[in-house]
Structure 1
Amino acid sequence: MKAYRFPLFLIAAIIIGSILGILLGERAEVLKPLGDIFLNLMFTIVVPLVFFSISAVIANMSNLKRLGTIMTWMMIVFIVTGIISSIVMIAAVTLSPPAAGVSIQFETPEEIDESLSLGAQIVQAVTVPDFVDIFSRTSMLALIIMSVLVGFATNLAGSEGRIFAQFLNSGAQVMRKLVGIIMYYAPIGLGAYFASLVGVFGPELLGSYAKAMIVYYPVAILYFLIGFTLYAFIAGGKSGVKVFWKNILTPAVTALSTGSSVATIPANLQATEKMGVHKDVRDVVIPLGASIHMDGSALAAILKIAFLFGIFQMDFLSFQTFAIAIGISLLVGTVMSGVPGGGFIGEMLIITMYGFPMEALPILAILGTLVDPPATMVNASGDAVSSMLVSRAVEGDEWMDEAERPAS
């Protein structure tokens, strides 16, 4: 019970927050600043944490070939799990169409800024024009790339870079301790944030989007419970399942409440350390996964497509439609998520690929907001179990036997 004490404390705080949200309604938004404090603390720590963690692990890596192996398997795992999540949601929306009986009045969307091409958006995602801009969570993918390059440069500097490598390693340790301090405030912050979410968005769940919510929430939760249990079993057998569920609740609850995979990086790094995932694996997979691995977003992309097909009374049941939908969900969940405004680009992609009118854009925006909490929970938790799968692929079947886990 000691290992589950803090996660259960977080869950209790969220339940209390949810009850307050129901009772207070929109007045619960007065509690939002308490949640914003926690969210801002996590966003503040995430930039130095990612920089020091990635740079330190590469700077101190004696075998750079291993890094290439880790990243190769990471991408394979991300793509395969993305395809699986897409197929799961296709099955769900086929059995229970999310737009059945729904009537939504179309509104003209706000004017869209098309001044930047997709190429320019990608440039913005992987680089920044000035050094100070790298220290922003809005430039997360650029920060990760720069952290990798700094780690490589330090490693290649040999003995002359040893002192800097020690500084990076020391910085990584200090940031992890700071995360532990911030997490003491998590029950208050997450409880308040969830009260605000339930109070503000609760009424919309009873409106035109209720059927889509009834489809998405159970599927996301079942994928979280059954899918991740299966992945953990593949990664480490019964021991893998046990160690995964023993440590995943804290990052899952953090992601569910904050709606941010980036804000969940610190909790995920702590959890995967306790799972026994090797330092170089978790320090690469977790930060990158927060930017480019989104199983929950892939589930949501399929739901959005099926929802629009139902509203416009189009036939969703065809192989070509399914194939395009899976392709879009992979782009939205693995590629677009690393691009500034990636969610918007993904929704635009859905509209243009199928020829829907632009008036459908607000529908997708609202639906995306309503499914965001469980989607983020699946996204972030998927990064943790993916790090276990990568560990098995890189280190072999006995990786759990050789793992050194800190005391819970």
Structure 2
Amino acid sequence: MGKKKLGLVPKLLLAIILGIIFGQLSMLPDFVIQIAVTISSLFSNFLSFIIPLMIIGFVVIGIADLAQGAGKLLGVTTLIAYSSTLLGGFAAYFVATHLFPLFINSDLSTAIQGSAPGLEPLFTIPLEPMLDVTSAIVFSFMFGISISWMRSQNKGETMYHLFGEFNLIITKVLSTVVIPGLPFYIFGNFANLSYAGSVFTILSVFWKVFASVIAMQLTAVALFFIIAGLYAKKNPFTLMKNQVPGYVTAIGTQSSAATIPVNLEVAKKNGVSAQIREFVIPLGATIHLLGSIITIISCVTAVLLMYDLPHQFGMIAGFVAMLGIAMVAAPGAPGGGIMSALPFLTMVGIDPTGTIGNLLVTLYLTQDSFGTAANISGDNAIAVIIDKIYHKYILQKNDSVSVSVENES
């Protein structure tokens, strides 16, 4: 048997712990900590460079794919998945803005912001992005919609494949450079936070946000199954019980794609017909992100409150709507959701490569597996609803048409 590799979450937790210890070692000269800070700074510069490219890689193909495909089922499934994602984001914002201020108060914000300044990197390498974020967003929407239109005219396959392969390149860079580099990035940042004296104040908030997010995800999934059960006239509690293997598998793998085989078996147990489950479950693994958006919006609201930054609904609403599209093309690897969300953090006033952006990434990744589990659980609720729609409105209608044609003949 081969050696079992350490997963991303244990690596991140280890990086946080070691970073805190490293920053607290008073016998170390400052330049030793600055080495770690320098590595984090270089990684941050690279992240700034790749963010506009991530927007193009994810959003162009995401929009082109969303608008493609024939049949009412695709449209209805996409509408339900996107609506679920939006509602999850808005609900998370509502809960976070009312619950989090109970343990993130003005005294805590003052303590975080009043901490001593951290150490500066030993050197920096200027690496300017090829495009700014706004230009990348406009470019992506323009090309995504245009490619979708061209494909409807039986054209544009070359452009579609060009951006599809560009998406693969960005995904490969994320999986081989960015994701593996995150523990080192987080280590350097937490070493600096520990050196500055603000880390323990921040961690006192993290675990409460973590618990709140998981509670919100479980509540959202339970409500989704109740709605699906009532609509399809199935026992919601049986549906939830059947989902347990899929939920546990998702926690272990941290991947929606890797959970598809188990989720298909769950859908079969729920009585979903083969043609519907084989269509909805793989599609839902890509476009339905209920758990991920609950996590991201909760974490974003938490860090905005911690640093006493604006967090009005109008600002968050645009961010939620954008994430619903951007995360569709997120890589299926652990952390894919937050990686696709990083480019749009500027919409809510967060620098994705700064201290606040780093805190957000860390908070998200430490519970990414639970977000994935909520995502794929919601997929089976959608499958139950779509199966009912298919048999009630589409299959019966086709049968009626066939009968009327036979009678006329």
TM-score by length of 2: 0.55
Deviation, 1:77, is 0.8
Q: Is the aligned partner of 1:248 residue 2:243? A: yes
**Cα separation, partners in 2 of 1:212 and 1:107, compared to 1, 3 Å:** farther
Confirm or deny that 1:216 pairs with 2:253: no
CA contact (8 A) 1:281 1:387 kept: yes
- Note if contact 2:250-2:372 (Cα within 8 Å) is conserved in structure 1: yes
Contact between 1:233 and 1:241, CA under 8 Å: does it hold in 2? yes
The one of 344, 360, 371 equivalent to 1:349 is 344
Determine the C-alpha separation between the residues in 2 that align with 1:284 and 1:354: 35
For residue 321 of structure 1, what is the aligned residue in structure 2?
315
Q: Is the 8 A contact 1:82 1:298 kept in 2?
A: yes
Aligned match of 2:164: 127
Match of 2:379 in 1: 383
**8 Å CA contact retained: 1:79, 1:334:** no
Aligned to 1:374: 370
2:255 maps to which of 260, 282, 289:
260
Gaps of 5+ in 2: 1-9, 15-68, 145-159, 174-198, 396-409
Residue 115 (structure 1) shift:
5.9
1:275 equivalent to 2:270? Answer yes
Q: Give the equivalent residue in structure 2 for 1:394.
A: 390
The one-letter code sitting in structure 1 at the alignment partner of 2:347 is: M
Higher mean alpha-carbon deviation, 337-346 vs 377-386, is at 337-346
1:79 to 48, 71, 82: 82
* Alpha-carbon displacement from aligned partner over 1:134-178 (angstroms, at most 9, x marks no partner): 9xx979xxxxxxxxxxxxxxxxxxxxxxxxxxxxxxxxxxxxxxx
- Partner letter of residue 164 of structure 2? T
Say which of 284, 287, 312 aligns to 2:282: 287
Deviations 1:380-400 (A, max 9, x none): 11111111111122222899x
Q: Deviations over 1:219-276 (max 9, x none)?
A: 1122222x23323224412x24254124211101111222111111110011111212
Structure 2 Cα separation of the partners of residues 368 and 88 of structure 1:
17
1:329-367, Cα deviation, whole Å (9 max, x unpaired): 4235445568996632312202x1123234122112101
Q: How does 1:45-124 map to 2 (within 5 A)?
A: 68-97=71-100, 100=104, 101=108, 103=112, 114=129
> TM-score with structure 1 length normalisation?
0.55
Equivalent position amino acid for 1:356 in 2:
I
| Structure 1 unpaired stretches of 5+ | 1-20, 27-65, 140-202, 400-408
Figure out how many residues of one structure are paired with residues of the other and give that number: 266
Specify the structure having the higher radius of gyration (Cα).
Answer: 2
Q: Which amino acid aligns with 2:80?
A: V
Contact 1:125 1:338 in 2 (8 A): no
Aligned counterpart, 1:172: none
Supply the RMSD in Å over aligned alpha carbons.
4.1
Letter in 2 for 1:127: G
Cα separation, 2, equivalents of 1:224 and 1:247: 13
Match of 1:304 in 2: 299
Q: Does 1:236 align with 2:232?
A: yes
- 2:325 aligned to which of 324, 327, 331: 331
1:310 alignment partner, SS class: helix
User: Deviation of residue 89 (structure 1)?
Assistant: 0.7
Letter aligned with residue 87 of structure 1 = F
Cα distance in 1 for residues equivalent to 2:340 and 2:249: 26
Amino acid at match of 1:217: I
Q: Aligned in 2, Cα 1:322/1:329: closer, same or farther, shift over 3 Å? A: same
Q: What's 2:148 paired with? A: none
Contact 1:292 1:334 in 2 (8 A): yes
Indicate the larger mover: 205-214 or 117-126.
117-126
